[in-house]
Structure 1
């Protein structure tokens, strides 16, 4: 019984310390982004250092979330994207300096999964896997 009481006192302190050790903004990056603006771009050599094709399911993340350094801290992370009643996964492979916070620039293949590229802009939701 004493052990349970002690655990109840110590556990919140340990959990708080774990949160304090995270990088600033890490918790914000892990949330979902609704009403996000989705556009598409011509792929090639991306900010993560790899060359991609239009058919790859990749995204360019806005600069605020992409972070600094090479490759960026969000490179190669998997996300789930939802729009127009469809959902799929994609990989962060590039940076989009012109995207609004939470917005994604998609490869043409990924954008085509959701709508005809002629639409130009979609609104949807995405989150980290």
Structure 2
């Protein structure tokens, strides 16, 4: 029979292993793919256009951000800025949405923000980015 303290230690180890992946994503810099999308009403409850400098972070990053609740409009990552870098160019964008098709460190930029980094004909680029 396991003691109470053993059960607590095992439970904490399990929670720690689950939490470690999203927390790693908040370290700087992050490396992932950047694509672009046609903005509209985002998960943060704000409507944006293609000319706005905005970003959708991965659903994994968004949903596990410290302080996130069931209401995506109240997610503390909403309104934060991040700076993305590609081949000596950078752009600073505001988090307004979550990207369901993105891997943990991938980001989905507005067309204007993507164009700050590369020609849209590339479609997908590998970037480094830092949450400000």
Per-residue CA deviation, residues 66-110 of structure 1 (Å, 9 max, x unaligned), is 015322331111111111211121111000010011100000000
1:53: which partner in 2? Answer: 49
Deviation at 1:27, TM superposition (A): 4.2
Deviation at 1:53, TM superposition (A): 1.0
Does residue 1:88 correspond to 2:91, yes or no?
Answer: yes
Q: Which residues in structure 2 correspond to 1:116-127 (within 5 Å)?
A: 116-127=119-130
1:109: which partner in 2? Answer: 112
Question: How far, CA to CA, are the matches of 2:124 and 2:91 in structure 1?
Answer: 17
Distance 1:33 1:64, change over 3 A: farther
Three-state SS of the structure 2 residue aligned to 1:118 is: helix
Question: How far, CA to CA, are the matches of 1:51 and 1:30 in structure 2?
Answer: 25
Question: How far, CA to CA, are the matches of 2:95 and 2:42 in structure 1?
Answer: 10
2:59: which partner in 1? Answer: 63
Three-state SS of the structure 1 residue aligned to 2:112 is: helix
Question: How far, CA to CA, are the matches of 1:28 and 1:66 in structure 2?
Answer: 13
Q: Which runs of 5+ in 2 are unaligned?
A: 1-18, 64-68
Highest CA radius of gyration, 1 or 2? 1
Give the TM-score, by structure 2 length: 0.73
How many residue pairs get aligned? The number is: 106
Does residue 1:40 correspond to 2:36, yes or no?
Answer: yes
